[in-house]
Chains A and B, each alone.
Chain A
Amino acid sequence: MSALVSNTAASQAGGDVWQGRARSLEISGLNVYYKNNKKSIFEKRTLTHAVKDVDLVMYKGEVLGLAGESGCGKSSLARTIVGINKNYTGTIKKTDPYPQMIFQDPYGSLNPCGKVGWILKESLRADRKKRRSEEEMDMRIRKAMEDVELPVDFLERYPSQLSGGQRQRVSIALSLVQDPEILIADEPVSALDVTIQAQILRLLDDLHRKLDLSILFISHDLRVVYNICDHVAVMRNGIIEEYGETDCVYRNPRAEYTRELLRSAGI
């Protein structure tokens, strides 16, 4: 059903260095559906098939880029992995603590009614598999703030008192407090200024190295993907058209669609 063109290094020249490493996420045969809103009561409720038969693997400690135009199903895939979207078939094998997500819009993704400290603590409380003491929660929160290079007195601020870049750092801290193995970054910088974009990307890269995080980096910006990702998956209309090591895919794209994307990005 899927027109997956495998573009692993193995198929081109000698093995993919990642193959055989521990996996932190395995997705197989994933289909995601959305219910459409009915326009009138006479209409039948229809489903949009957002993600079609996707298989995807994330190795421990890698940065996997997920590229594709808007509406191609990137975000649907990400949301299904973190569990926001429950209308899916197929299997998602994820390790505990579960993957956490950084959202695109740092202005809307933080509860405007809570101080940063409260928001972070809420995120810890939401993880009901573990009961944590107040001290442990405070410690984790402080550590997360340190990781994203924000001063602790920001814990007493409301999101409205922070800049876009600061908010995105809070979002990152928010996804770090539960100490996950995988971070899913859904276009984490596209709502920010260019200078701030670079800072946040550098921060993500640092965290990836320091904490041995796997990052699923979703972006439509192929240049950024090229710079930071070990593997790349190119998605179109809910199908992964091409997957492979970033170098190989960029140098020798197999799918026509990948070529098109690279051409329009000027690479």
Chain B
Amino acid sequence: MKYILKKAVMMILTLFVVSILVFLAFNLIPGDPAARKLGTEATPAQLENLREEMGLNDPLVVRYLRWAGGFVKGDMGDSYTYGPVEKLIADKVPITITLALMAFVIMTIISIPLGIYAARNKGGFIDRIIVVTDQVVMSVPPFFAGILITLIFGLILKLFVPGKFVSYNRDPAGFFAYLLFPAIAIALPKSAMTVKLLRGSVIEEIGRDYARTAYSRGNDTRQVLYRHILKNAMIPVVTFMGMALADMVSGSIVIEQVFNIPGLGRMLLTSINNRDYPVVEAIIMGISIMVMTVNFMVDVIYRIIDPRIDAVD
């Protein structure tokens, strides 16, 4: 309990630091939001009025507190062109989260059985194929995998229509079907890494003394593997998978471009291009919150599966 509390406090502190950095970064960038909003035709008096109205003349600390306070209350400020930010990103967040979660599920389904199988049959023909394939897949970046998938599954095999995204409230099945391929593109390299890690971890645990002890009591390989080894072998893998999930949230930015998905990532890039800083700030904060929540959950899960932390604590 104390441990979880400690991690929660750490998370809030980290978020605080991130928010300061984000705020400072966008306030130090040269350029006047008021001037940007009014265009080149504005008179100095109009500019001054708008600055006053937007609170740009207040000291930095006051502006930060206003921004951060609003953020806590769910008011993320106004986009320079499209009105309140929270409304803008409200329907983008589920898309990005769904994409990341799908990628995570795919990664889990692919990599855990493969990793265990490869470890059990270490040195065998199929294991070698897995190891080599793994090495190749690992080094393919998601955007390239995305392009290949679009080409092969979209344009040649016609399993989906590239660019024809369906909104989830219009056609949930179509929405998931469209996200499947981008999710695979994100999942592939991470799956390869997980397979490699799990394979190594299981092989290492098989050689441990307690596994040998379990054998000596009359267990067969299967029992030793699933009842004794797996829990230990999963400890480093869970950590990695947590980091992978966090990475998938932020990594979907690129893949959303490749597959034309109107998620947070797409919006982030558009807003950067338009210099719509309130939106950019909100999205960066949103992504950091998601990443940190995932890390927090990993810490909690880690705590549950690894009693050894308890002893050092």
Which A residues form the contact surface with B (CB < 8 A)?
79, 82-84, 98, 100-101, 103, 105, 108-115, 122-123, 126-128, 158, 160-161, 171, 174, 178
Contact = CB atoms under 8 A, between A and B. Distances in A.
A178 B307 contact: no
13 contacts: A83-B218, A84-B216, A103-B212, A109-B213, A111-B232, A113-B308, A115-B307, A158-B311, A161-B310, A171-B213, A174-B213, A174-B217, A178-B217
Given A113-B306, A113-B307, A161-B311, A122 B227 contact: yes
B47 interface: no
B228 A122 contact: yes
Given A122-B228, A126-B217, A158 B307 contact: yes
B218 A128 contact: yes
Contact of B232 (A100, A113, A115, A160): A113
Interface string B168-201: 0000000000000000000000000000000000
B214 A126 contact: yes
A202 B189 CA distance: 57
Contacts of A83: 215-216, 218
Interface of B is mostly: helix
Interface residues of B, number: 22
Interface of B: 208-210, 212-219, 223, 227-228, 231-232, 305-308, 310-311
A92 B49 CA distance: 97
Contacts of A105: 209
Nearest to B312: A160
Contacts of B311: 158, 160-161
B218 A126 contact: yes
Contacts of B305: 113
Contacts of B208: 108
Nearest to A161: B311
Nearest to B123: A38
Contacts of A160: 307-308, 310-311
A22 to B, nearest CB: 23
Nearest to A108: B209
B262 to A, nearest CB: 44
Contact of A84 (B210, B215, B223, B306): B215
Nearest to A104: B209
A214 to B, nearest CB: 17
A167 B223 CA distance: 23
Nearest to B230: A113
Contacts of A114: 228
- Taking each of A109, A128, A161, which has the highest tally of chain B beta carbons within 10 Å of its own beta carbon? A109
